[in-house]
């Protein structure tokens, strides 16, 4: 009997999900996150999960983890002491950036912070041109002084990014070899190893991000890996931003791959649920303790983007250029807002009610948790409105201090506005729902999708609480609450494949390029991908190496990515690729010019180690069924009595007509008046309008 274990650290809770491969049986352990030492909460959750589900560590086949270490280091400016080496004349590349601004009309806005102070940025004489030819030879005599400067600065890492090294990496590799030989204690990240792609600033920024967060990620994963090894568990894997897991060695070679690790896992789990339920079009909605994330799944395909910035307002508001540090790695396309259970409600200087971005997190947490929190939060409002149990959560393990929640809202919100505590709580919920509806619009309407053609799959500890209100706002016809919604992102960690993305720039017109050049470039990436999968001990029969190409019309600035057929590249294959590009360009932008030359920019390859499919199902125990009643607030009716059901006792075929509440260990589902929740054969809750 083999088990898979996934661990997801959230802003308030750390979730551990365990799935038995053959039966699909799910076990959940949920503990408070330990911000001072995230690993402490992880080990506590794993230990509890193993004991409560009687799992022998020797029976664990996969151990996967979603980490926020990379994103937090960038948001909190707590990365490594790192340096940057550039072509002479390009020392300030990281500071000059591009001209993108998050707010066109704010003349006093500050630019994003620079990861490497200017005193730790150096130049070296060398130059490669746009054809990959050496214009100025590398000045080898300047390297000893560079080494001494790095040593004197006591740096932990160095990023090296030279002009056009993606075409000719000889200079970059020579400097890297010298630094690694002379400074073995210093981590050296070369752009030709991290991101051998066109676009100078994005390549340099991605390399600098890797250098900035690398030591922190390495230390964290090393401590956690040792702790899990002591428990007798298998080697630790880490969730990547593109929706696959990789081993620690791969992660440390490319730390930027671990950005948005947890949110990516939730979307992967949502896609798996869509395949099980035959729901190809889904909007995933993940509301946790500090943020709410939304993503779109179309035709069972998860949307992925390479245009991502980390460490700025894009992480706390929505996607905006110029707010953070660009990383050119595939990232699941997400819209994220600061709207979680721990988000703090406050009144701005203009007298408007706001929710977030500040969060009570896990320490001290919402006032209702009785852990020392005194600021009013969304969770406190949910408790007062009766959406959450006013006595205890987590099956009784987390007592609720209703008086503290009422006091916090009365002092900071109700009193200043002259409202009752209940009315103030309702206002808080209305504001936070409006914020989250905007995230859903970003991934649907702003991407050209009609929300009425999608189902909303809601998870996270607070997602099913607020989901139906959001569905009503966007006229979404169905809400799906999956098994173990409070730990659903952790389930995504054990339902995904091993994955690593590779890229290489090959700049040429499709009609003129030598097909053998493309074949050779793909062969090199295939060799690297196969080596990674072999090192991870993936059987050959479960290995896949799909290929892609970034192509565009001549003089265009951005590309479309298209699949490339397997096998040696031939002229007819390139002709079919060009025809596919014309078609996709027309689908994407509404027009195509089939007489215009098509230009190849980048070649891409994804190395995939496929894991056996899982069946996610919610088991039921009719003996645990119970129904009680409490006063619950709904927008349409105000406070009124509502039945409260225990989810584990609901058998397939059960219909729950609103108003009602469905409680579970890890999450609560709110069924408003006019909606009915039905339990399907797999134990999913399917909410539809009456």
Predicted confidence band of residue 319 (pLDDT cuts 50, 70, 90): very low
Residue 4 has pLDDT above 60, yes or no: yes
**Residue 86 token pair:** 């550039």
DSSP E strand boundaries for 201-338? 236-239, 245-247, 282-287, 292-298, 301-302, 304-305, 308-310, 325-327, 331-332, 335-337
pLDDT at 50 over 60: yes
In the prediction, which pLDDT does 23 show?
76
* Token code pair at residue 465: 């609480």
Class of domain 78-214: alpha beta
Q: Which CATH superfamily is domain 3-73+218-258 in?
A: ATPase, nucleotide binding domain (3.30.420.40)
- Do residues 323 and 313 lie in contact, with contact meaning Cβ atoms separated by under 8 Å? yes
Entry field: residues in the chain: 690
Q: Provide the strand spans (E) within 112-194.
A: 121-124, 127-128, 134-136, 157-161, 187-190
Confidence category of residue 1, pLDDT binned at 50, 70, 90:
low
The pLDDT value recorded for residue 439 is 86
Q: How confident is the model at residue 315 (pLDDT cuts 50, 70, 90)?
A: very low
The average confidence (pLDDT) of the chain is 87
Beta strand pairing call for 331-332 and 685-689: unpaired
Is residue 303 within 8 A of residue 332, CB to CB? The reply is yes
Poorest-confidence range of 410-424, 605-619, 630-644?
605-619
Average pLDDT over residues 286-309: 83
Give the integer Cα–Cα distance in Å for 210 and 439: 28
- Predicted confidence at residue 323, as pLDDT, reads 58
414 pLDDT more than 50: yes
Q: Which residue has the higher pLDDT, 107 or 284?
A: 284
For residue 9, pLDDT over 70 is answered with yes
In the structure, what pLDDT confidence band is assigned to residue 152 with cuts at 50, 70 and 90? very high
pLDDT at res. 102? 59
Would you say residue 334 has pLDDT above 90? no
What's the pLDDT score for residue 341? 87
For residue 196, pLDDT over 90 is answered with: no
- Mean pLDDT over 397-404 rounds to 87
**612 burial via Cβ count (<10 Å: 0-12, 13-18, 19+):** exposed
pLDDT of residue 104: 63
Confidence of residue 314 (pLDDT cuts 50, 70, 90): very low
Closest CA to 116 of 151, 159, 63: 159
Question: C-alpha angle with apex 99: 93 to 103, nearest 5 degrees?
Answer: 130
Q: 71 or 391: whose pLDDT is higher?
A: 391
Q: In the structure encoding, which two tokens stand for residue 241, read together?
A: 């931003």
CA distance linking residue 347 with residue 543, whole number of Å: 54
Query: Parallel, antiparallel, or unpaired for β 325-327 and 26-32?
Result: unpaired
Q: What is the mean pLDDT of residues 645-667?
A: 91
The verdict on domain 498-609 having CATH code 3.40.50 is: no
Question: What pLDDT does 109 receive?
Answer: 62
Instruction: Supply the pLDDT for residue 108.
Output: 67
Q: Which letter, b or e, does each residue of 122-161 get, where b requires 16 or more Cβ atoms within 10 Å of its Cβ?
A: bbbebbbeeeeeeeeebeeebbeebbeebeebebbbbbbb
Q: Is the pLDDT of residue 499 over 90?
A: no
Orientation of helix 200-230 relative to helix 38-52, angle to 10°: 50
How does residue 97 score in pLDDT terms, banded at 50, 70 and 90? confident
Nearest residue to 8 (alpha-carbon basis) of 76, 69, 50, 79: 69
Q: Is 87 helix (H, G, I), strand (E, B) or coil?
A: strand
Residue 321 has pLDDT above 60, yes or no: no
Distance between CA atoms of 584 and 590, rounded to whole angstroms? 9
316 pLDDT exceeds 50?
A: no
What is the percentage of the chain residues whose pLDDT exceeds 90?
Answer: 47
Domain ranges of the chain: 3-73+218-258, 78-214, 498-609, 622-689
pLDDT at 101 over 70: no
- SS3 of 535-586: the string is HCCCCHHHEECCEEEEEEECCCCCCEEEEECCCCCCHHHHHHHHHHHHHHHH
Q: Of 68 and 547, which is predicted with more confidence?
A: 547
Instruction: List, for residues 555-584, the tens digit of each pLDDT value.
Output: 888 888 899 999 999 999 999 999 999 998
Cα separation of 531 and 290, whole Å? 39
Q: What is the DSSP letter of 109?
A: P
Q: Could you give the CA distance from residue 342 to residue 377 in angstroms, rounded to a whole number?
A: 5
Q: For position 317, what pLDDT does the model report? A: 38
71-90: pLDDT as tens digits: 777 767 788 999 999 999 99
Q: Is the pLDDT of residue 474 over 80?
A: yes
The most confident of 176-180, 368-372, 559-563, by mean pLDDT: 176-180
Helix (H), strand (E), coil (C) string for 578-640: HHHHHHHHHHHHCCCCCCCCEEEEEEEEEEEECCCCCCCCCCCCHHHCCEEEEEEEECCCEEE
What residues contact residue 598 under an 8 Å CB cut-off, 6+ apart?
509, 510, 511, 551, 552, 553, 554, 577, 578, 581, 582
């Amino acid at each position: 009997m083999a088990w898979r274990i996934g661990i997801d650290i959230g802003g308030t809770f750390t979730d551990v999900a365990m799935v038995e491969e053959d039966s699909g049986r799910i076990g959940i352990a949920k503990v408070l996150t330990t911000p001072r030492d995230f690993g402490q909460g992880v080990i506590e959750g794993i230990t509890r999960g193993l004991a409560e589900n009687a799992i022998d560590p020797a029976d664990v086949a996969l151990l996967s983890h979603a980490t926020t270490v990379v994103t937090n280091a960038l948001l909190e400016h707590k990365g490594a002491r790192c340096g940057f080496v550039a072509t002479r004349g390009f020392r300030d590349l990281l500071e000059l950036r591009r001209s993108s601004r998050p707010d066109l009309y704010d003349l006093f806005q500050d630019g994003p912070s620079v990861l490497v102070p200017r005193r730790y940025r150096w130049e070296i004489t060398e130059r490669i041109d746009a054809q990959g030819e050496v214009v100025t030879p590398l000045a080898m005599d300047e390297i000893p002084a560079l080494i001494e400067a790095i040593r004197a600065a006591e740096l932990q890492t160095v990023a090296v990014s030279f002009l056009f090294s993606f075409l000719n990496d000889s200079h970059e590799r020579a400097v890297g070899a010298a630094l690694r030989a002379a400074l073995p204690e210093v981590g050296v990240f070369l752009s030709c190893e991290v991101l051998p792609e066109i676009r100078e600033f994005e390549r340099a920024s991605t390399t600098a991000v890797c250098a900035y967060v690398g030591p922190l990620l390495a230390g964290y994963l090393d401590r956690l890996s040792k702790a899990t090894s002591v428990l007798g568990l298998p080697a630790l894997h880490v969730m990547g931003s593109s929706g696959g897991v990789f081993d620690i060695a791969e992660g440390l070679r490319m730390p930027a791959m671990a950005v948005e690790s947890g949110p990516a896992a939730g979307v992967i789990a949502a896609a798996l649920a869509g395949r099980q339920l035959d729901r190809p079009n889904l909007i995933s909605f993940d509301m946790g303790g500090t943020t709410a994330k939304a993503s779109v799944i179309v035709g069972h395909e998860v949307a992925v983007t390479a245009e991502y910035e980390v460490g700025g307002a894009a992480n706390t508001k929505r996607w905006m250029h110029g707010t953070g540090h660009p990383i050119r790695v595939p990232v699941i396309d997400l819209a994220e807002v600061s709207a979680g259970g721990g988000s703090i409600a406050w009144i701005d200087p203009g007298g408007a009610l706001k929710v977030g971005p500040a969060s009570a997190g896990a320490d001290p947490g919402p006032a209702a948790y009785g852990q020392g929190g005194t600021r009013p939060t969304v969770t406190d409002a949910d408790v007062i409105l009766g959406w959450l149990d006013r006595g205890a959560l987590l099956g009784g393990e987390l007592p609720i201090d209703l008086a503290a929640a009422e006091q916090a809202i009365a002092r900071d919100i109700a009193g200043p506005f002259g409202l009752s505590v209940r009315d103030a709580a309702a206002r808080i919920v209305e504001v936070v729902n409006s914020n989250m509806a905007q995230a859903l619009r970003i991934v649907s309407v702003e991407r050209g999708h009609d929300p009425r053609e999608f189902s909303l799959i809601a998870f996270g500890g607070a997602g099913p609480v607020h989901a139906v209100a959001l569905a009503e706002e966007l006229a979404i016809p169905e809400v799906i609450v999956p098994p173990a919604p409070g730990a659903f992102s952790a389930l995504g960690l054990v339902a995904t494949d091993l994955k690593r993305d590779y890229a290489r720039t090959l700049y040429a017109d499709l009609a003129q390029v030598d097909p053998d050049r493309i074949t050779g470039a793909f062969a090199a990436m295939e060799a690297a991908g196969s080596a990674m999968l072999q090192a991870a001990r993936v059987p050959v029969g479960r290995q896949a190496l799909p290929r892609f190409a970034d192509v565009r019309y001549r003089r265009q600035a951005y590309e479309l990515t298209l699949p490339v057929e397997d096998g040696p590249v031939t002229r007819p294959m390139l002709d079919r690729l060009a025809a596919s590009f014309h078609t996709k360009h027309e689908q994407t932008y509404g027009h195509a010019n089939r007489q215009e030359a098509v230009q190849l920019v980048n070649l891409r390859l994804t190395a995939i180690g496929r894991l056996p499919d899982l069946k996610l199902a919610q088991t039921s125990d009719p003996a645990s069924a119970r129904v009680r009643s409490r006063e619950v607030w709904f927008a349409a009716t105000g406070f009124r009595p509502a039945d409260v059901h225990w989810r584990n006792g609901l058998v397939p075929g059960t219909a729950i007509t609103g108003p009602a509440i469905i409680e579970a260990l890890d999450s609560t589902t709110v069924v408003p008046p006019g909606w009915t929740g039905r339990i399907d054969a797999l134990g999913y809750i399917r909410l539809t309008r009456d």
